[in-house]
Amino acid sequence: MSNANADSLVASHDPNHPANLICDLCKLFYNNGWVTGTGGGISIRKGDHIFIAPSGVQKERMLPDNMFVMDLQTKEYLRVPQSLKPSACTPLFLAAYTNRNAGACIHTHSQNAVVISLLYDKVFTIANIEQIKALPKITEPGCLGFFDTLTIPIIENTAHEEDLKDSLEQAIIDYPAATAVLVRRHGIYVWGETVWKAKVYNEAIDYLLELAVKMRQLGIPPDGAIGSERNTRVV
């Protein structure tokens, strides 16, 4: 593919074009403190084209011209922006696309995700909280109900981001109802059928992680039965 054709993959006046959306979402997530520095990343799939934010570009200064484009079937890059490196998150994003037919994948270094990963061992669970209803059941149609339990697996961090791929894939297999995986002392990967669903899931999960940290500080188990918190003596 010529450079001109490759560049046309990321040039669009449509604000909902993946190359434009990734820039907007990176700014939003930067302002939420989820992708400070150059950490974290976003990828959106459109058909068989995967758009991926590059490595090393500050998230609030991302431009559509900075985007890598990969063919999902061949795993070959259709567009490589000049003097930029592909994101180390790319193999992890591919794991969500391949194993879950995701439409988008978000990776943040949210402090709420990092703290929760220090408080739980293999899985994080939270129950009986209204915000859970924003999250999908995955294994059957519809969303979780108020009385359901949200479960997010936790995997161990590795020295290099790309080395997380095998354990992330294993967690996806072991937890078929999960739409996210926490990485200990690192952050979280969240995916969804569309970019908008992935965004909603990421926001809802971060809210729940922050709430769980606060509940634990008060001695209230986030997955406890309704009413059990009233027996908790707050000091």
Exposure string (b/e) for 138-152, b if CB count within 10 Å is 16 or more?
Answer: beeeeebeeebebbb
Q: Which residues are annotated as a binding site?
A: 89, 107, 109, 186
Q: Is 76 a catalytic residue?
A: no
Q: Please tell me the distance from the alpha carbon of residue 117 to that of residue 112, in angstroms, as a whole number.
A: 9
Q: Tokens in use for 148?
A: 């359901």
Q: Please tell me the distance from the alpha carbon of residue 139 to that of residue 145, in angstroms, as a whole number.
A: 14
Q: Which residues pair with 71 in a beta bridge?
A: 49
**CB neighbour list of residue 230: distance below 8 Å, 6 or more residues apart:** none
Q: Which residues are annotated as a binding site for Zn(2+)?
A: 107, 109, 186
Q: Which of 60, 76, 130, 229 is catalytic?
A: 130
Q: Which residues belong to the active site?
A: 130
